[in-house]
Amino acid sequence: MTLPRDGRPADAVLADLEAMRTEDAPVHGGRVLAYVYDAGVPGLPEAGRAALASFGEVNALDPTVFPSVGRIENGLVGWALDLLNGPAGACGLVTSGGTESCVLAVLAARESWRRAGGAGQPVVLMPVTGHAAFAKAAHLLDMRLRTLPVDPVSMRVRVADVSAALAEEGAVVALVVVSAPSYAHGVVDPVGEVASLAAARGVPCHVDACIGGLVLPYLRRLGRDVPAFDLSVPGVRSLSADLHKYGYSPKGASLLLFSDAHYREGAFFAYSAWPGYPVVNTTLQSTKSAGPMAAAWTVAHVLGDDGMLAANRRAIDATDRIVAAVKALPGLRVVGPPDSTLVAIAADGDEGAGGVDPFVLADRMRARHWFIQPQPACGDLPRTVHLTVQPASLATVNEFIADMAEAAAACAGQPWAKVDPGLMAALADLDPATLDAETVAGLLALAGLVGDGPPGLPAESASVQALIEATPPDVRDRLLVGFFSLLFTADR
């Protein structure tokens, strides 16, 4: 972009900015079932945005200069510790999002492992259904990630597999991670058993409750059978719960809770051997906006405890109705069953045997202005579509179910999205290390991700999803990086 020589009136600039959102998916209204979390409460987004704007320039780097930061953060952490049964001495911090919370949880574990004399390359052990954020953490922190298979029916990690891996890896295991629930299938791992196995070997357990941490306690209050998953479970040393998910606040806020302050200190960083101000950071960011935490604090207070309960009741009611409806649709099945408000839907039967392709289903739903998220097959886990059901989904649930029924009927007997076997063989032969930018661009064009217009997914994306699924993971990661490299091409 080129800056205008003379500045322009703010109203006109803001109107241009708003105009850029015309192609964005709507963040409210319940038609987008991933990435967004709409409480469906009138006035709530406005309250959050007002706090975000008002605190946008407050620098949360230094709570001694901006004491409001400490008050807001300690308030949010205290609320979450009560909700998630933090024992005496438990503590926490506010981060910018789930990934930052996960990275800092892994950092705290690595530091604790080092303090205890750990030698060699430390290992993070988690089910294959654990979030990619932990792979990123291992990558950034020079640790090895070992993933464990899950039971292909329940989608939960098997306790015996954790036990065997702990024994096999021995003293290099610095952290065991479990999900409550997993993003892909919405099921809670056996937290109690895994944490106790880990504790017996002196290994801390992190519960990734980024997406369920602010839902499950309310589901329990609503009388649901929620397995023990929180800080009251012996062996659980840290837990992440995102405010910008089911805390219904604007993006940029998550909670990372710890069993004790000494363990938390591993996530902190201080450096004062330079001539500038002594730096002490509780998070990866240094200068950071207090806006997201102020917004989360505001949203929590505007909703109140009853409001959170009511919002989560709407979300789980909508989930129940969707689950019941999908179970009744020929050719589809609900994976799991889910433990909270996330639903994964797979084909019931193979191609030609009545099974509906989830990728084709997602396209059909897209044509009806619903976004449900395709998830590729992974080992022996089938391709699925993911639904993040939210309170606002209750108002649209009848329409959603009717559209799902029609879309599934239209997919019945239709061929599944797949890749030509010749192309698959060629993809399998590719070595990601030798892929140059030109080959990557050629492959992306072949996949339909880049063409004449700006890079992006075509409106009908089932064939692209199938291609992504068929490509070996290391090649696919290389191509995805190449795709984003093209997507983020400077406008100059």
Ligand X SMILES: Cc1ncc(COP(=O)(O)O)c(C=O)c1O
State the minimum distance, in angstroms, from the CB of residue 143 to ligand X. Answer: 17
Cβ nearer to ligand X, comparing 247 with 266: 247
Q: Which two tokens stand for residue 375?
A: 């998830």
The answer to whether 397 and 321 are in contact (CB under 8 A) is yes
The answer to whether 191 and 233 are in contact (CB under 8 A) is yes
State the minimum distance, in angstroms, from the CB of residue 345 to ligand X. Answer: 17
Paired residues of 150 in beta bridges: 157
Residues that bind ligand X (CB under 6 A): 97-99, 102, 131, 133, 179, 183, 208, 210-211, 242
Cβ nearer to ligand X, comparing 135 with 309: 135
Cβ nearer to ligand X, comparing 215 with 467: 215
State the minimum distance, in angstroms, from the CB of residue 127 to ligand X. Answer: 11
User: Using omega within 30 degrees of 0 as the cis cutoff, is the peptide bond preceding 337 cis?
Assistant: yes
User: Using omega within 30 degrees of 0 as the cis cutoff, is the peptide bond preceding 382 cis?
Assistant: no
Cβ nearer to ligand X, comparing 95 with 259: 95
What's the chain's length in residues?
Answer: 492
The span from the CA of 127 to the CA of 149, in Å, is 6
State the minimum distance, in angstroms, from the CB of residue 288 to ligand X. Answer: 15
State the minimum distance, in angstroms, from the CB of residue 440 to ligand X. Answer: 25
Cβ nearer to ligand X, comparing 316 with 447: 316
Cβ nearer to ligand X, comparing 130 with 355: 130
DSSP category for residue 329: S
Cβ nearer to ligand X, comparing 131 with 158: 131
Cβ nearer to ligand X, comparing 253 with 475: 253
The helix or strand, by DSSP H or E, that contains position 386, with its residue range, turns out to be strand 384-388
The span from the CA of 154 to the CA of 145, in Å, is 23
Residue in the structure block whose two tokens are 């004062």: 272
State the minimum distance, in angstroms, from the CB of residue 34 to ligand X. Answer: 8
End-to-end CA distance of the chain: 5
DSSP category for residue 15: H
Q: Which two tokens stand for residue 46?
A: 């406005």
Paired residues of 92 in beta bridges: 257
State the minimum distance, in angstroms, from the CB of residue 484 to ligand X. Answer: 16
The span from the CA of 88 to the CA of 228, in Å, is 18
Query: Which residue's C-beta sits nearest to ligand X?
Result: 98
Query: Among positive and negative, which fits the CA dihedral 32, 35, 39, 42?
Result: negative
State the minimum distance, in angstroms, from the CB of residue 390 to ligand X. Answer: 13
